[in-house]
Amino acid sequence: MVEVKSIEKSFGKLTVLKGVTVQIPKGKVIAILGPNGSGKTTLIKCILGLVIPDKGDILIGGENIKNNWKYRNNIGYLPQIARFPENLTVSELFRMIQDLRKNQNPKNNPEQTCSQFVSLFQIQSFLNKPLRSLSGGTRQKVNVILALMFNPDLYIFDEPTVGLDPISCVRFKETVLKEKNNGKTILLTTHILSEVEEMSDEIIFLLEGKIYYQGSPKELMANKQENTLEKAIAKMLEENEQKNTN
């Protein structure tokens, strides 16, 4: 579905991605993990064409994304930090985005999908409120619904569950697994490793601009002889620290 080949990206003197190569297979949930500042959002933005890599290529569905914008029609993106037109109401925002994306997927009925998610995430009573008046969690629910509304083949979620209440987290995770079972590909970042254990087929662990580990969470736990992903990752990083100090 997505092929990232030898991507390099610097911002001024700071090299954020130092030759990242990953294959993201169709129909899987892939989690990009790594400490703050390790380049997760930058990698995601490269895939979206929002950041242009200095070197390397990205192919989606076999096609290079360079100078090619059409592939974005088939992506549902949840940005890490959503900025909304604050004076619009929630339903005005939904309608505006539906209007902008209306010709992208003729099989899709975004109004219907949207109202299903409005009920699922319980935001009916906020539909007529201006976005500036919403709490952080409700804003995140709006962000989630905007990413889910268009029935795309590829979802990219940058820290989707930040600020969500427990019921909404559970419903979000169920939605992700349901979409996966519908053959969709899901790429996400999160710091909540229990979520990764529950949802992800594979993890990509970024460290200092490179892929430090790629494989299934189960494999990593077995390999490190730990019963949680959190402990397994901690062990992996501690071993790395020891190697570097020796």
Write out the residues near ligand ADP by the rule CB under 6 A.
11, 14, 16, 34, 36-42
Q: What is the CA radius of gyration of the chain?
A: 19
Indicate the burial class of 246 (C-beta count within 10 angstroms; 0-12, 13-18, 19 or more): exposed
List Cβ<8 Å contacts ≥24 apart for 17-20: 17/42, 17/43, 17/46, 17/53, 17/209, 18/208, 18/209, 18/210, 19/55, 19/56, 19/209, 19/210, 20/56, 20/206, 20/209, 20/210, 20/211
In the complex, the smallest distance separating the C-beta of residue 41 from Mg ion, rounded to whole angstroms, is 3
Number of residues in contact with Mg ion under rule CB under 5 A: 3
Q: Which is nearer to Mg ion, 43 or 145 (CB)?
A: 43
How far is it, in rounded angstroms, from Cα 217 to Cα 223?
10
Q: Can you read off the two tokens belonging to residue 124?
A: 């009916």
In the complex, the smallest distance separating the C-beta of residue 188 from ligand ADP, rounded to whole angstroms, is 12
CB neighbours of residue 124 within 10 Å: 11
In the complex, the smallest distance separating the C-beta of residue 56 from ligand ADP, rounded to whole angstroms, is 16
The CB-side HSE value for 34 (13 A sphere, CA atoms) comes to 23
Contact letters (x/-) for Mg ion, 55-94, by CB under 5 A?
-------------------------x--------------
Select the binding partner of residue 185 from Mg ion, ligand ADP, none (C-beta < 5 to 8 A, by kind).
none
In the complex, the smallest distance separating the C-beta of residue 121 from ligand ADP, rounded to whole angstroms, is 24
Select the binding partner of residue 38 from ligand ADP, Mg ion, none (C-beta < 5 to 8 A, by kind).
ligand ADP
Q: Which is nearer to ligand ADP, 130 or 163 (CB)?
A: 163
Backbone angles phi, psi at 203, to 5 degrees: -120, 150
Q: Can you read off the two tokens belonging to residue 241?
A: 């620290």
Nearest Cα residue to 53 out of 3, 78, 80, 16: 16
Q: Which is nearer to Mg ion, 118 or 188 (CB)?
A: 188
In the complex, the smallest distance separating the C-beta of residue 158 from Mg ion, rounded to whole angstroms, is 6
Interacting positions 13-52 with Mg ion (CB under 5 A):
40-41
Q: Which is nearer to ligand ADP, 34 or 79 (CB)?
A: 34
Q: Which is nearer to Mg ion, 45 or 171 (CB)?
A: 45
Catalog residues that contact Mg ion under the rule CB under 5 A.
40-41, 80
